[in-house]
């Protein structure tokens, strides 16, 4: 284990990107939201914002954030939806009410998902008309970072550092680069100009300093059965399996890998969401994209 840790530390020299889905290796997939103290402290406008933010849970892969648009559609990342569909994807409101969806539309290239709820959810956010705020503009997002504090929606604040094109899926997708504390569970949350309820982006990525080789080593360790059988892990289907010393080591290292970050993250530009909404007008509750 000491040799493994030394190798991981030795390789930690470059800066890849990782998505912000709450991982399930050591994190229990949440089933409820506890927003009481946050709602008590929030002012009138903030309560409106919190009310349009949802914990999105895919029991098979983990949890992230989603938000309601004024058109009645819930937006999140495709990687938050994961392997789930209409049958098992769940949204949970700040008042701990469960939401189910009658249609799930994903765009893997943009890493966006449109979720059509089974019922009207009330007022939501509007898309910003201007999608290019100046660098230095203060921005914020509500979400569920690290499934912290009994799974409560929390506010993260930062500022726009710049813009870039993400080509990782074979087509250029416009991203906003943000200097701010985006953590696992923030994926799918709305990026807002501070003190505004207009969406300028969708939180998607954070950066840390580990190179890809570290993840490859962790994945290799997770498949090994050497060492003492130290614990058992309960799977999402209710079955349990024994975990080896190597696999426990991989789980601990993966937590460090996933959650170590520098203060740089990214959000998908609202222009990408606007384009996706227009492409799927016939599948959505209303006839306008905004």
Residue 165 within any structural domain of the chain:
yes
226 in a domain, yes or no?
no
Residue range 232-278, pLDDT digits in tens:
666 656 677 778 888 888 888 777 666 666 667 889 999 999 999 99
Number of domains forming the structure of the chain: 1
Contact 104, 77 (CB under 8 A): no
What domain range is 24 assigned to?
A: 17-209+260-283
| 220: pLDDT strictly greater than 60 | yes
In the structure, what pLDDT confidence band is assigned to residue 37 with cuts at 50, 70 and 90?
A: confident
235 lies in a domain?
no
**Residue entry with tokens 């799930």:** 104
Q: Is residue 6 part of a domain?
A: no
Rg of the Cα trace of the chain?
Answer: 19
pLDDT digits (tens, 9 = 90+) for 126-176: 999 877 899 999 999 999 987 776 688 889 999 999 999 999 888 999 999
Mean pLDDT, rounded, of the chain: 82
Q: Looking up tokens 């799918």, which residue turns up?
A: 188
Is it the case that residue 216 has pLDDT exceeding 60?
yes
Q: Examine residue 59 and state whether it is found in any structural domain, yes or no.
A: yes
Residue 11 in domain: no
Angle at 283 between CA 280 and CA 285, to 5 degrees: 110
Residue 243 belongs to some domain of the structure: no
Is residue 63 situated within a structural domain?
A: yes
Give me the CATH number covering residue 199. 2.40.10.120
């Amino acid at each position: 284990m000491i040799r493994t840790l030394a190798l991981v530390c030795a390789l930690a020299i470059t800066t890849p990107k990782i998505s912000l889905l709450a991982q399930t290796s050591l994190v229990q997939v949440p089933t409820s939201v506890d927003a009481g103290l946050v709602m008590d402290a929030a002012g009138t406008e903030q309560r409106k914002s919190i009310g349009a933010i949802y914990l999105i849970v895919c029991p098979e892969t983990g949890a992230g954030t989603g938000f309601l648009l004024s058109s009645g559609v819930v937006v999140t990342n495709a990687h938050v939806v994961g392997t789930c569909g209409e049958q098992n994807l769940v949204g949970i409101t700040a008042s701990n009410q469960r939401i189910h969806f009658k249609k799930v539309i994903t765009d893997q290239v943009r890493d966006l998902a449109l979720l059509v709820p089974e019922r009207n959810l009330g007022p939501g956010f509007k898309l910003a008309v201007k999608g290019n705020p100046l660098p230095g503009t203060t921005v914020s997002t509500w979400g569920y970072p690290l499934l912290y504090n009994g799974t409560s929606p929390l506010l993260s604040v930062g500022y726009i550092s710049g813009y870039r094109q993400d080509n990782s899926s074979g087509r250029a997708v416009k991203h906003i680069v943000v200097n701010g504390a985006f953590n696992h569970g923030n994926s799918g949350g709305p990026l807002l100009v501070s003190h505004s309820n207009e969406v300028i982006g969708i939180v998607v990525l954070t950066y840390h300093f580990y190179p890809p080789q570290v993840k490859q080593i962790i994945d290799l360790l997770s498949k090994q059965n050497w060492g003492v059988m130290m614990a058992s892990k309960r799977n999402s289907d209710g079955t349990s399996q024994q975990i080896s010393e190597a696999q426990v080591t991989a789980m601990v290292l993966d937590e460090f890998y996933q959650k170590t970050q520098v203060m740089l993250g990214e959000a998908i530009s609202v222009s990408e969401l606007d384009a996706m909404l227009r492409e799927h007008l016939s599948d959505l509750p209303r006839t306008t994209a905004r």
